[in-house]
Amino acid sequence: MKLRSFLAFAGFVMLIAATYCPLFRPFGVTTWDMYDANKPYGIVVLLIAVVGIIGVVFMQNNIARMAAWLSAILVVLFYILALLKIHTSFTFIPFHAISRFLAKQIRFKWGWWLLVAAPVLSLIGALRDKPRYKMPDQPEAVTQN
């Protein structure tokens, strides 16, 4: 297995592991992973990572590249959606100071580092650069008898 293929494989495996890591700590009571925050979205990210692993194992570069880009887009989108969810969860409370205080009680955990690093690693591995030069064809030696 080439180094770039191994990096892509490690990135996709890390993405699967990152979906189970703690991402949120609401009110200091419990921790949430991706499946606690949004189960269908977590399953989609998990399936994209599995498709990426299959693409790397069967040396289908286009599939692995597409899965790497999709995983990066999904992680960025999940981060944006998490921010929006945190800042709008307590808007039903008429006192803005209390709603801001409650929104600040939801903390991000270390799983986000892994969740961001995994698609970056898979992108590095999946985006193979083309050879910089092509070997010129060697003319066949003409033999005279």
Q: Which tens digits make up the pLDDT trace of 54-112?
A: 999 998 889 999 999 999 999 999 999 988 888 887 878 888 888 888 888 888 899 89
Q: Which tens digits make up the pLDDT trace of 116-139?
A: 999 999 999 888 755 555 666 666
> What is the pTM assigned to this prediction?
0.80
Domain boundaries, the chain: 3-126
Residue range 44-63: average pLDDT? 93
pLDDT of residue 46: 96
Range 16-21 contact pairs with CB under 8 angstroms and sequence separation of 24 or more: 16/46, 16/49, 16/50, 17/114, 17/118, 18/111, 18/114, 18/115, 18/118, 19/45, 19/46, 19/49, 19/115, 21/109, 21/110, 21/111, 21/114, 21/115
